């Protein structure tokens, strides 16, 4: 086991996204996962049936005790629910030195369409967390909410990613899965230039938790010493196989096969 990742995110009772997906992804890639739970959801493959935010001070306390004892080689941020939690998380990260890569997945909307971030918290996320981020990993609706840039094609993605980069993160991975195309484009933008990762769309309903899984896989790579490009490339390959081998559970948007890297026990 190499690399320690502290995950700050919400819980998905269905196990396909959120903290549950994060722990599976980090573990499947050989790193150690610790957590600070920022919200609880009552959720399955058919949708989100309830959300309960955790007290901001208690979220920060979870981070504090883990970082002071176990430590972390990367921190991954997922669902934070509201502005108060975002501010507490950013403050605790800064208080602990802010000297490890921070992966920010700006979770706003569940696969079912349920809003997971209060609308008035979007600006707080942009101002408090993005300037601290090593990499931010929005999908297209999240990028549109953060930038007010309509995104319909790869050129729009470039414009939005450049604006996101101007908010302060070291890198932006803009995920193009919401484009109406059989070709998928994920755009990685840093101060040194861009990389366009291209692939074919997998036509399946079993994609619940792909964003959470991808960002945690990136965090694991950074914690293990990979550079940003290589961490993203490995994470994309891991997620692609997880989608292709999904177990087909539930009656809606089913979970991935997070543990496809794990060999059967004798």
Catalytic residues: 175, 207, 209-212
Q: What is the pTM of this model?
A: 0.95
| Helical axes 210-223 vs 18-28, angle rounded to 10° | 40
Q: Which domain holds residue 223?
A: 4-245
Cα–Cα distance measured from residue 245 to residue 263, given in angstroms and rounded to the nearest whole number: 14
DSSP H or E stretch at residue 218: helix 210-223
Residues contacting residue 25 through CB under 8 Å, at least 6 positions apart = 212, 213, 216, 217, 220, 238, 258
Domain harbouring 160, CATH code: 3.40.1190.20
List, for residues 185-210, the tens digit of each pLDDT value: 999 999 999 999 998 888 899 999 99
Could you tell me if residue 214 is inside a domain? Answer: yes
Q: Give the pLDDT confidence of 137-165 residue by residue, as tens digits.
A: 999 999 999 999 999 999 999 999 999 99
In a domain, 54, yes or no: yes
Burial of 162 (0-12, 13-18, 19+ CB in 10 A): middle
Quick one: tokens of 131? 């300037």
């Amino acid at each position: 086991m190499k690399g320690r990742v502290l995950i700050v995110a919400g819980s998905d009772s269905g196990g396909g996204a959120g903290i549950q997906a994060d722990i599976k992804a980090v573990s499947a890639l050989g790193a150690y996962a610790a957590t600070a739970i920022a919200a609880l959801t009552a959720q399955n493959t058919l949708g989100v049936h309830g959300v309960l935010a955790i007290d901001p001070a208690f979220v920060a306390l979870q981070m504090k005790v883990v970082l002071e004892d176990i430590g972390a080689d990367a921190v991954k941020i997922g669902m934070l629910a509201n502005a108060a939690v975002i501010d507490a998380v950013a403050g605790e990260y800064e208080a602990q030195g802010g000297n490890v890569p921070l992966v920010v997945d700006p979770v706003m909307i569940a696969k079912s369409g349920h809003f997971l971030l209060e609308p008035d918290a979007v600006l707080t996320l942009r101002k408090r967390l993005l300037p601290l981020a090593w990499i931010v990993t929005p999908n297209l609706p999240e990028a549109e909410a953060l930038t007010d840039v309509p995104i319909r094609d790869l050129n729009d993605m470039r414009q939005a990613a450049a604006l996101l980069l101007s908010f302060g993160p070291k890198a932006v991975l803009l995920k193009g899965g919401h484009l109406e195309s059989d070709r998928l484009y994920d755009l990685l933008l840093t101060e040194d230039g861009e990389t366009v990762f291209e692939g074919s769309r997998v036509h399946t309903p079993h994609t619940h938790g792909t964003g959470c899984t991808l960002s945690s896989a990136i965090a694991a790579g950074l914690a293990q010493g990979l550079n940003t490009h290589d961490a993203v490339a490995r994470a994309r390959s891991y997620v692609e196989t997880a989608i292709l081998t999904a177990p087909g559970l539930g009656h809606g948007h089913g979970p991935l096969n997070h543990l496809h890297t794990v060999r059967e026990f004798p």
